[in-house]
Structure 1
């Protein structure tokens, strides 16, 4: 059994796209995927890095980032190895 994968969602509380991204990831949570939300407004370096890109998901295991917009299919492809894609 592999360890849970943590994804970090960079966004802000007033971002409707961030809410859409959060809803898209909900089916994955609890199935080996944990989600941590980070409000970029609280940290100036994160605000500078992500303000024009949010929402952004980052895989904590590899550091790979996925910028919005993406579909559930694209998210699953991006997470392929972590969600056991492949038979």
Structure 2
């Protein structure tokens, strides 16, 4: 399975770790790419105060934290 979602966050972000655990509970790890916003100035500007953010790559639809497993399932 190829990557279908990006999870935007940053290293050491406890909310990002919670979001990752929620995502991995309902989708395979191969469907998800973790993207550190600190590695990209544009992403940092976009998501600085919003992380974690889950994005469906097929259409760009995003979930901004806080989100729950049910919302992730709807996004699948």
TM superposition score normalised by structure 2: 0.88
d(CA) in 2 for partners of 1:65 and 1:5?
A: 15
Higher share of residues assigned helix? 2
TM superposition score normalised by structure 1: 0.78
Q: Higher relative contact order by CA 8 Å / sep ≥ 6: 1 or 2?
A: 2
Identify unmatched segments of 5+ residues in structure 1: 80-87
1:37 to 34, 39, 44: 34
Report the RMSD for the aligned CA atoms in angstroms.
1.8
Give the number of aligned pairs: 76
Matched, 1:47 2:63: no
